[in-house]
Amino acid sequence: MSDTMERQNFAPTPAAEPQILYSAAAVRQLDQLVINQQKIPGLALMKRAGRAAFGCLRHRWPEVAEIQVFCGGGNNGGDGYVIAGLAAQRQIPVTVFMGVPVEKLKGEALEAYGFAEREGAELVSTIDAMPAVGKNTVLVDALLGTGFSGALRSPVDAAVAHINGAGVPVLAVDLPSGLNADSGFAEQAVSADVTVTFIGRKAGLFLGRGPALTGDVVFDDLGAAAEIYPQVQGMLLRHTAESLARLPARTADSYKNQFGHVMIVGGDHGFGGAAMMAAEAAARTGSGLISLATRPEHVVASLTRRPEVMAHPVVSGQELEPLLEMPSVIAVGPGLGRSPWSEQLLARAGRAQAALVLDADALNILAGGRVLAGIKRDDWVLTPHIGEAARLLQVSNAEVNADPVAAARAIQEKFSGVVILKGAGTVIAHREGADVINTGNPGMASGGMGDLLTGVIASLIGQGMALPQAARLGVWLHGEAGNRAAADGQRGLLATDLLPHIRALVD
């Protein structure tokens, strides 16, 4: 019986549902359903939003001595005026920057302005008129809402620069001004410490620049009924530790062939370490058997570092061919390079019967179109970063950054299988839809981190997980291990520092 047939059957047991993330248009639909079906007037929702944000501000900064609120002209600005009015009621000095003249305010926003004025909030129309920022001041960003796209215009651009340069805590209402609510793209945007968002979680808070700009995200449904949400289509699912399916516990009579045989293919001249790290990551994630197909010069180092890995010297694709009958999963790319040797190995591995994980230069070679041209596979996982994604789609990095969900879906449509577009908000696209996972930290911006992720995902597939589940769990394990490894500091974090934490988390 083959290794593949002997692997344990995997039964997913997620403990909680993932969070549904919505587009800006979908959130507007939710708003209208709450208003029309629950008979909650728009002004009442605005007051609820203002109270929720003000309550969060007081809870987070109980010693606040002064508040400055920056208001735009739409409902987001209306929320800001409610916050200002509530602060004035409680005798907290509050100044409001009016980004839009009062004569241009309409509907609920105008009524909220009237509330702030009646309660005695100080209203100013220029940034120069804002008071100096003192001790225990909190700034509130209520300039732009979910409808924003493009570049900031005057006077909002000056207000955003003022907020970011103040050096005091910032609370953003619904989302930081300048951040695209759908894609997370931002050229110039408020950098908040806390973002209080309402009705539906906006996808852009968790994508692209979102995680770097939002600070802590606090969600308040403003009393929206549970039956409202199924009526509106979500954009993607956000998985957290609680919603991820895990590997089952091993039985007392387990044996190695039940847990997959992973082969790492890579390690061209000068890049042997990448392949070794991927192999060790697969081993620490729990694979039963690990093979490494690499340049002959790297075999001794591999055996010295990790003798449990079966290292095979290969000098051509022809030598790799007979080795491909052994593994249940093949990971190609760590340290692969772009030489003729690299292309031969990818060409042979890409036509093997085993499931595949492609990373790094395997993706760059694939993007070149000479190797595996036109091939689609349902049983492979592609793991590009922004640059590799751009090459796979033959577009610019800026186009991928502008809409990472669309880019991941386009790659998946082009090549099939599962696509992991890596970033602060990692997007996972597959046949059933798309997911996002936010884990990790800036200290992981160092060499070798992607090689570990490749090994982790390959190991999970070999242990019986379906590809989308392996992708989700692998991304989370990798990022959470990075967070634990960075407990004493992010600078100087090395990829191999994650390995003991991966082993602890996977059990």
Give the pLDDT of residue 14: 52
Give the mean pLDDT of 327-347.
98
pLDDT-based confidence at residue 149 (cuts at 50, 70, 90): confident
Give the mean pLDDT of 396-425.
97
Q: Are 327 and 3 in contact (CB under 8 A)?
A: yes
Q: Residue 117 pLDDT > 90, yes or no?
A: yes
Amino acid letter, 405: V
Give the pLDDT of residue 9: 45
**β-bridge pairing 137-142 and 66-71:** parallel
Single pTM value for the model: 0.94
pLDDT in tens, 420-430: 999 999 999 99
Give the pLDDT of residue 15: 60
Q: Residue 10 pLDDT > 90, yes or no?
A: no
What residues form DSSP beta bridges with 356?
A: 330, 380
pLDDT in tens, 236-268: 999 999 999 999 999 999 999 999 999 999 999
CA angle at residue 279 from 273 to 281, to 5 degrees? Answer: 100
Please, what is the average pLDDT of the chain? 95
CA angle at residue 102 from 97 to 108, to 5 degrees? Answer: 95
The dihedral built from the CA positions of residue 274, 247, 378 and 5, taken in this order, carries a sign that is: positive
Give the pLDDT of residue 11: 47
Give the pLDDT of residue 16: 86
pLDDT in tens, 286-323: 999 999 999 999 999 999 999 999 999 999 999 999 99
Q: Residue 474 pLDDT > 80, yes or no?
A: yes
